[in-house]
Structure 1
């Protein structure tokens, strides 16, 4: 990965205005923010800039207003919540461009913070419109992107501004990029990838990219059923995309050519109904009855994944190994996650994870804090794992 500029590379910030793209697309109920995780992740960047005397003008989207000004999607409640998290006043501007935004920025002193209104109230934001980008760029002297979660979008606030102003990665963004570089960009080998989830169809690009870049790939969740079926194993009434059998065989062939070992379940946990604490049994992969469905990997399979962890120096994880939301079909995911966390905490493994279900699964296992890095970026993390170019990241490269 080409080097990107960081906040410490910016000089003479006193009196300058930094336009900072943050991810404040947070859950709000009855006008109150119900989860401030994303707000807290922005504090380091904001205080770094304000501490150097810069005016900090925050840019963010909220919801899907589709270019229309919708009061229920205003960021005003978020400004109040962020002030509480930051422990300092946060002004609010009713627009993110034009005279309203200019006056709001002018009204704060060096070191002050203002949150500008929802960038997606303007139709040109998601179109990366040049005119809107030119107008927004007039507000600042430099641009900082601290929203990796939106880096896969080429919008005005994620890409257009970076082409018009001196551009830097914020603290949260640089943590993401540094972790991803360690995971797949320039990793310590061997590299093990654990990929789970419901459907192969949603992760074809991901799997095709990984088999050429990692040394071992463990496949779990519903998508493993499709691979098992492609190998001729019975999967009963399990979730399975039988029409993708040939795709699975192609991926396995590519893995073999690349020297990547594929790890599939050797034993599974099956039940006749998908319900919490439903009657279930563990069996070998050739013993699934027609009226049974595979809902989790078995202990032998978890053991194989753990052996692969012990052989690896780097782990990249995306997706659960089973239906982890429903007990007892969370056991394989929990056991494997705890094994990875134990090795990461002991310094034996660089463990990087990401994707919505992955974060939920690691939190469920109580180990998210013990991984080397857990990305909450969702779509951007997946596109990075797929080997795709992220416009918001590319724009930061020097």
Structure 2
């Protein structure tokens, strides 16, 4: 599935929806209960409204958090937000599998919807369980998939399920892909600001973007790995979700593309066992018991950003450059201000990034999925939909 061929997938907008049809809608409402950014819920509204206005009975599957680290929680707040945005009651049921969930979906009246329990409460979901996908398939007769925020995952509900029933790409999914297309096309004046701790940033994005972007500005675990690879002591700074891979990629890109990476000379460090915060020179190293939590953006980085922005280049920011949740916002604020030089040629990627970076411009609801798409040009969810389309045409 090429990044340039979304027309190869079956679309919800092309479907005839009849009154009483039973649909499963796979949403990407990965929003914590008290989150102030609800873009991942709101982007699914138009597709849901289209189904409900035509009298479909819709069982909504969505996710939040992960069973692996215990962050998955019930999602009644998603039903409440959808009710508000749709102007009609969207019910909530606490489970997504089993007799009670099947009965709840079957009891829907034409034009009604129910948000079923968080699929991530079942550890089999992120394992891509075929058995679990079979259970989901009993909730309806056709599938519409939005959920761009996890289109890069091979989860049971948004990948394996699509092989069980007639499945269609929702407008919410395709709109995100098409919005990213200009950033995927390649631009000699492009810049990528990478932060956070997720593997997609420390490995996939870093390795990919040094090949396609004129400038890569690291923050977060991406920065820590690069500083260590350059021979600096980083104390107990985080290397993200996959430290060994982060180290390997950092060494590789510095060996091949160091000219495209600009490292800061000063970092902000925090004492792990106390309340101390200290700015340090990178060359002086970070002692054990201290961790890098932010950095001072060098003047030459701001100069390059200004030149690229005013020269018509593109910019993306994925992952916060510093530990924003603990109040360390020096680099984040500097980069947010610099993005203004790019206007609508700047984009934020990902839910946490959008919530934590003070920039009101373009945004994508997907962090990992957007990065996967920009680097590889492919997403597993689009691939499985395209395969279904090819088989339908061949038959």
- Identify the TM-score tier after normalising by the shorter chain: 0.7 to 0.9
Give 1:212 shift.
2.5
The match for 2:349 is: 354
Give 1:47 shift.
0.9
The match for 1:69 is: none
Mean CA deviation greater in 139-148 or 56-65: 56-65
Residues 239 and 308 of structure 1: CA distance in aligned 2, closer, same or farther (over 3 Å): farther
The match for 1:16 is: 21
The match for 1:338 is: 337
Is this contact kept in 2: 1:306–1:339, CA < 8 A? yes
Residues 255 and 9 of structure 1: CA distance in aligned 2, closer, same or farther (over 3 Å): farther
The match for 1:52 is: 54
Is this contact kept in 2: 1:208–1:251, CA < 8 A? yes
1:396 maps to 2:394: no
The match for 2:195 is: 196
Mean CA deviation greater in 298-307 or 89-98: 89-98
Q: Distance in 2 between matches of 1:209 and 1:177?
A: 18
The match for 1:255 is: 257
Within 5 Å, give how 1:1-398 maps onto structure 2. Answer: 1=3, 2-3=5-6, 4-28=9-33, 37=38, 38-62=40-64, 74-75=74-75, 78-93=78-93, 95-97=95-97, 100-120=100-120, 125-184=125-184, 186-197=185-196, 203-221=202-220, 223-224=222-223, 226-228=225-227, 230-231=229-230, 239=237, 248-255=250-257, 261-265=259-263, 267-268=265-266, 280=279, 288=284, 295-300=294-299, 301-311=301-311, 313-324=313-324, 330-344=329-343, 347=344, 349=345, 351-355=346-350, 358-362=353-357, 366-367=358-359, 369-370=360-361, 372-375=362-365, 377-384=366-373, 387=376, 390-397=379-386, 398=389
Q: Distance in 2 between matches of 1:177 and 1:277?
A: 44
Structure 1 gaps of 5+ residues are 67-71
Mean CA deviation greater in 73-82 or 86-95: 73-82
Residues 212 and 277 of structure 1: CA distance in aligned 2, closer, same or farther (over 3 Å): same
Mean CA deviation greater in 98-107 or 145-154: 98-107
Q: Give the 3-state SS of the residue equivalent to 1:304 in structure 2.
A: helix
Residues 309-340 of structure 1 show CA distances to partners (whole Å, capped at 9, x for unaligned) of 3345322222344455566x533331222221
Is this contact kept in 1: 2:194–2:317, CA < 8 A? yes
Give 1:162 shift.
1.3
Is this contact kept in 2: 1:59–1:96, CA < 8 A? yes
Question: Cα RMSD over matched residues?
Answer: 4.1
Give 1:203 shift.
0.8
Is this contact kept in 2: 1:220–1:264, CA < 8 A? no
Residues 90 and 264 of structure 1: CA distance in aligned 2, closer, same or farther (over 3 Å): same
Is this contact kept in 1: 2:369–2:379, CA < 8 A? yes
Structure 2 gaps of 5+ residues are 390-395
Q: Distance in 1 between matches of 2:347 and 2:219?
A: 17
Residues 324 and 306 of structure 1: CA distance in aligned 2, closer, same or farther (over 3 Å): farther
Mean CA deviation greater in 140-149 or 310-319: 310-319
The match for 2:392 is: none
Q: Distance in 2 between matches of 1:73 and 1:230?
A: 38
Give 1:88 shift.
0.5
Residues 272 and 40 of structure 1: CA distance in aligned 2, closer, same or farther (over 3 Å): closer
Q: Distance in 2 between matches of 1:360 and 1:36?
A: 6
Q: Distance in 2 between matches of 1:21 and 1:200?
A: 24
Q: Give the 3-state SS of the residue equivalent to 2:260 in structure 1.
A: strand
For these two proteins, the number of residue pairs brought into alignment is 369
Residues 25-73 of structure 1 show CA distances to partners (whole Å, capped at 9, x for unaligned) of 4434xxxx6657143333222112212332222112455568xxxxx95
Is the radius of gyration larger for structure 1 or structure 2? 1
Is this contact kept in 2: 1:23–1:146, CA < 8 A? yes
Normalising by structure 1, we get a TM-score of 0.73
